[in-house]
Amino acid sequence: MNGEETRNADEAKITEKDVLFYYNREARLAKASPRVRALYEDAPKKRFGLFSSLTDSKPKAALLGAILVICLVILFLTYVAPDAGASIAGNKVSVRAMRFNGASFMVLTKVAARGAYTGVVTVTVSPLSGGAGAGRSFTHSVVFTEAKSEEARWSAPLESEELLISLAAGADVGSFRVKTD
């Protein structure tokens, strides 16, 4: 034990001046790549910017470009693509149709503008291609109220891939085609 106590006492007497360091930062940085050397230089820090952080690398810029293109396509299709519907007496009307067991089930959606027609609207449905009810038409009456938006649902004994929908509201008449699901 006496030998260990002597060794611990010797280690306690060693100061930092007595320790030889083999680490030399300047020598290590001289061998390092230019990117590593640039990290240790005192360069002014870049300010954070939203656009620069989104485009500081090629993958980030490509992702931002793809997001912008998708947004533009959605906006284009929303505002430029034709609606599957008609405007009749100030009401914007669209119809969705579904075929099932020899009948067509329809949903008419109306969105009214200010001062639009309110009252009875006659809806005539005719098949445009062969199927159950070919050569016949079906007439249904719907009442448009003063509500901004409303739906009406009904079925017709017609089964066709495409239907001709004719709407008559007073003296105003409109028609459009609807593909069935």
Torsion on CA atoms 51, 57, 62, 68, rounded to nearest 10 = -10
Tell me the pLDDT band of 10, cut-offs 50, 70 and 90. Answer: low
Q: Which residues, 6 or more positions from 150, have their beta carbon under 8 angstroms from its beta carbon?
A: 109, 110, 144
Q: What is the pLDDT of residues 35-88, one digit of tens each?
A: 888 888 776 677 778 888 888 899 999 999 999 999 999 888 877 765 567 788
Contact assessment for residue 160 and residue 131, using Cβ atoms and an 8 Å cutoff: yes
Residue among 176, 165, 119 at smallest CA distance from 140:
165
CATH number for the domain formed by residue range(s) 85-179: 2.60.40.150
- Counting every residue written for the chain, the total comes to 181
Domain boundaries, the chain: 27-79, 85-179
Give the residue-averaged pLDDT of 137-141: 88
pLDDT at 67: 96
Tell me the pLDDT band of 9, cut-offs 50, 70 and 90. Answer: low
Distance CA 34, CA 38 (A): 6
